[in-house]
Amino acid sequence: MAIRMVFSVFIILTAIAGCKPWQSEVSHSTPVKPGPQIFVLFLKADLADGNQTLVHLVGSQTAPGDLKKPGRTSFICPTRIEIRDSSNRILESGFIEHPLIERLEFSDDNQEINLRVLRRESADFVIRTTYYAQAGYFRIISENPDYPTINSNIQLVK
């Protein structure tokens, strides 16, 4: 597999109607790199038969930094996200946010506040969370047995 670091993200489906604002439910682990980075996934949902939703990863990035992404799709409709390390320990948990994040504030390695405008009109919803260097891989989980669990890797572009 890839020699570079990859991210470990678990998306868990729930019956929660609508998206709630981000709320952390577990304590943060200490990242390997100085300071965590903001990790943003842009997802496009296409209505399929019945309640199935075809979800495409249409973009992703860190702030600061960019990501390379493989072209993966899966039949899921995620509403929750969990970040776990390679030993399956939960690093952070939260809810998917509204797709139109126009301004994203983050602190860089010098603890200076930066502002980045993020506009993805093609995305139906956005997951915003924190990148941790311990993470091992990106994983989409479906609780519905009719929909498969999809594993995919997203590598940080140096």
Nearest to 115 by CA among 98, 102, 129, 127: 102
Quote the tokens at residue 17: 């109607």
Nearest to 123 by CA among 34, 19, 49: 19
Q: What is the pLDDT of residues 120-129, one digit of tens each?
A: 555 545 555 4
Compute the mean pLDDT over every residue in the chain, rounded to the nearest whole number. 43
What separation in angstroms does the CA of 127 have from each of 32, 42, 49?
A: 22, 7, 24
Cα 22–Cα 25–Cα 68 angle in degrees, nearest 5: 60
What is the SS3 assignment for 17? Answer: coil
Say how far apart CA 2 and CA 4 lie, in whole Å: 5
pLDDT digits (tens, 9 = 90+) for 32-42: 344 444 455 55
pTM of the model: 0.31
pLDDT digits (tens, 9 = 90+) for 67-119: 333 333 333 334 455 555 556 566 555 554 444 445 555 555 566 665 555 55
What is d(CA 158, CA 147) in angstroms, rounded to the nearest whole number? 34
